[in-house]
Structure 1
């Protein structure tokens, strides 16, 4: 009677649903639990029971302990992750002008494509800010732009100002690194020019942010072991 009410006829479905519930209770990831079990069985009859038991398991597990198994393992190793004081909070206390690279290597917007390629080949940088004849930032050129010119078979005498990325995203000197990181992730870019008024004064890359975060993590780990 009970199996007919929920549309389950095979006892194995109860076992598989139980597996999903257990996984969800341990990982606190209900969607993942449903997907993992369904991928193993490819049985659509399991989807509804899995969704029900996963949500119930999640609610019960949250009542018993707010932390997942992975959080508890990290606690045992002395690596406590406090979501309220995350790496972003640490980055909020560091300004862009404290980390930026300066002086900045720039390119003139009247350079040709061949000259830009030569500059990239002789440098380790993956992108350059582009300045106009008055020294103002008007664009940015990256390796992605060069790939685009190759696909479009742009001639070598094509001027940089005709294929560079116009109106690049920028940050101010007093913007904090948390804001910088947010822009890098949101717009899927790897570098941001740093401006003071209308003038380019530096540049910050995703590598700089990673370095700062790594130094912070190493410092916290060392403080726990000492």
Structure 2
């Protein structure tokens, strides 16, 4: 069953938010989902302890560097999708999880600092590909963007990734009050009300578009673009 890993050496880019949104959307479609919470701060576990978690979505915590591969493989035997939310560092646990991924999602905000950290994640993916002699699909996911404004910095970063052959989601996860509210109130976007958050309908559309694009990427699988992407990662700051 597919394993989807959320990875970035930088914290605060929306890994946990993206992981929960994806897990909830897949569960809403009827799939059994496991989210492995490998972030020491345990944001996904905190969300899961609040009411409203879908019954077909399981969260596993207390994962260590020594057990993360076993946890991923066991979850893949039990559920249709495995989602791994990793810590914001470049650790051996991160490398081990990436080695088992069918798709690595690299959440990135529209800043040059985030772009440089994303490039480091790409380099780590390439190292795991070489170590295990397999291709690993990956893509940049721009997070906390504005639905109405496209800053020049974001446009420049997108163009740079494109120029270096780095794949990116067409869908951005916008800055939405509803996404934050899920971690305050628990449960799903559908369980929120317009009295609690603004622009709820737009948040639902955004989350569903993201999940649909993930499924499309999983069906497509990795593409043979290692040379330009690896060179691009180095040029964009992977060795800083």
Which band: TM-score by shorter chain?
A: under 0.3
Higher helix share: 1
**TM-score scaled to structure 2, two decimals?**
0.22
Instruction: Tell me: higher relative CO, structure 1 or 2? Use CA pairs within 8 A at least 6 residues apart.
Output: 2
Choose 1 or 2 for highest CA Rg: 1
